[in-house]
Amino acid sequence: MKPSPAARARFDWRDLIAEALAGLFARPGRALLTVLGAVLGIASLVATLGVAHTAGNQIISSFNELSATSVVVTTDRGFFGDNAPQVALPWDSESRLSRLNGVAAAGSMADVNIGGDLTSSVPLNDPLGQTEFQVPMVAASPGLYPAVRGHLATGRWFDEGHSERADRVAVLGAGAAQRLNITRVGQQPVVFVGDVDFVVIGILDDVLRHADLLNSVIVPEGTARDLYDLQSPTTVQIDTQVGAAELIASQAAIAVSPNDPALVRVQSPPSPESLQTQVESDVNALFLVLGAVSLLVGAIGIANVTLVSVLERVGEIGLRRALGAGRRHIAYQFLLESTGIGLFGGVIGASAGVLIVVAVSASNDWTPVLDARIPLAAPLLGAVVGLLAGLYPAWRASRLEPVESLRASGA
C-alpha cells in the first residue's frame, strides 16, 4: 500500500505503550524514585482507610462485649419529666425480667437514704485519724451482681434469703472497704452505719457497670426496706445475651410496668452500625487529609520529574517530530509515561498499604478488615494522579518546535 501524500501521521497504541515503557526504562533509577512519591501517597491512603476500618471494627467488638448487652430500666423521667407521674418499679423486677428470653442476668438497685449517718468499722477512739466516713448505701437484689459483671475480692454476695429475713449483712465496694480498713471477711467484721451494725460478708473489687457501687455499702433490698423504709428499686440493670439488647429493650418496660410501660425509661445501646460509621468517619477525616497531602506531594514529584525529563529529551522530541510524530503523539507519550509511574506507584502503594494494615493489626491483636475495593481502586487513583501530573509537562513537550529542539540538543 502506497500511502497518500496527504495521509496524516498515525501512531498505534501498542507502539505508544512500547515507547512510553522504553522511555521509563531508559532511566530506571529516576523512574523508581519518582514512583516512590506516588507509593507514599497511595500507601498512606490505603493504610489510613484500612486502619480506620480495622479500628472501627475493633471498637465494635469491644463495645459488643459490654455496652451492647446492657439495658437499663429506670424510673428517672429525665430532665423534662419532673412533673410526670412517677411509677414504682416492682420489687420482683429481677424475677420478671429474668424470665424474658435473652436476658442473661437482671438485678435491681436503689440508693438508700441513710439520713446523713456516717459509716465506721470498729468504734475506735483515735483523736488523730478519721474513723467515720460518709459512705453511700445502695440496696441491691441478688441478681445485680452478675448483671453488673461484678467480681468479689473475697467473701460472697447476699442471696434471696438475706433479703427475705432482712439480715443486717453488707457487701463493701473496694473503695469503701479500703476507707473502712476492712480487707478480710473471715472474722465477720462489722461496720456501723449510724448506730446500725452490718456484718460484712464480701468485698466487691470490680464491676463493669455502675462503678459507683465500688464506693458504696451494698445491702439486701429486704434489709433496706425494713431498716430505712425503702419504697422501691429505682434502677434495674439487665445483662442481655449478645444481640438480644434491642429485643429486651422493647420488652423490659412492659415486663416491669405492665400498666404504664410509657412511664419507665429504658436505656438501650446505640445500634452498632451507626457507632462504627461514626468512629470510622472520625478517624478517616483526619488521616485522609494526611494521605491526600502526601499524594499531592507525590503528584508534584511526578510532574517535576516528567518536566525535567521533557527538557532533557528535547533532542529526542525533535527527532520524533522530524520523523513524523505529531504534537499529539509526543503529548500522549509523556502522558503515558507519567500515568505509568502513577499506576506503578499505585500498585506498590496499595500493597504497602495493605501490609501496613496487617502489621498494625498484628501488633494490636486486631483482625485486619479492609474493603476489597480500596486496594483495587488505589492503582487507578495512582494512574489518575500520574495522568494529571503529566498534563503540563506533556503540553510543554508537544509545544516544542522540531527545528528548535534539534538545534537546542546540540551536537
Can you give the binding site for another protein, defined by CB under 8 A?
Answer: 3, 5-12, 14-15, 19, 22, 25-26, 315-316, 318-327, 329, 402-403, 406, 409-411
- d(C-alpha 120, C-alpha 212), whole Å: 19
CB of 36 to another protein, least distance (A): 22
Whichever of 162 and 329 has its CB closer to another protein, that residue is 329
- d(C-alpha 240, C-alpha 73), whole Å: 13
- Sorted by sequence, the CB contacts under 8 Å of residue 246 that are 6+ apart come out as 268, 271
CB of 309 to another protein, least distance (A): 13
Instruction: Classify residue 74 by its DSSP letter.
Output: E
Question: What's 181-240 look like in SS3?
Answer: CCCCCCCCCEEEECCEEEEEEEEEEECCCCHHHHHCEEEEHHHHHHHHCCCCCCEEEEEE
- d(C-alpha 336, C-alpha 346), whole Å: 15
CB of 397 to another protein, least distance (A): 15
Whichever of 242 and 322 has its CB closer to another protein, that residue is 322
H runs (alpha helix) in 257-324: 272-312, 314-322
Whichever of 99 and 328 has its CB closer to another protein, that residue is 328
Whichever of 184 and 328 has its CB closer to another protein, that residue is 328
Q: 3-class DSSP state for residue 149?
A: coil
Q: Of the candidates 136, 141, 135, 145, which has an alpha carbon nearest to the alpha carbon of residue 207?
A: 145
CB of 390 to another protein, least distance (A): 20
- d(C-alpha 19, C-alpha 9), whole Å: 16
Whichever of 293 and 403 has its CB closer to another protein, that residue is 403
Whichever of 21 and 290 has its CB closer to another protein, that residue is 21
Whichever of 25 and 80 has its CB closer to another protein, that residue is 25
- Could you give the dihedral angle defined by the CA atoms of residues 276, 277, 280 and 284, in that order, rounded to the nearest 10 degrees? 180
CB of 333 to another protein, least distance (A): 10
Residue with cell 502513577: 342
Q: Of the candidates 24, 39, 30, which has an alpha carbon nearest to the alpha carbon of residue 343?
A: 39
Q: Are strands 151-155 and 190-193 parallel, antiparallel or unpaired?
A: unpaired
CB of 321 to another protein, least distance (A): 7
Whichever of 9 and 290 has its CB closer to another protein, that residue is 9
- d(C-alpha 151, C-alpha 205), whole Å: 6
CB of 286 to another protein, least distance (A): 45
CB of 335 to another protein, least distance (A): 17
CB of 21 to another protein, least distance (A): 12
Whichever of 333 and 338 has its CB closer to another protein, that residue is 333
Cell triple for residue 212? 459507683
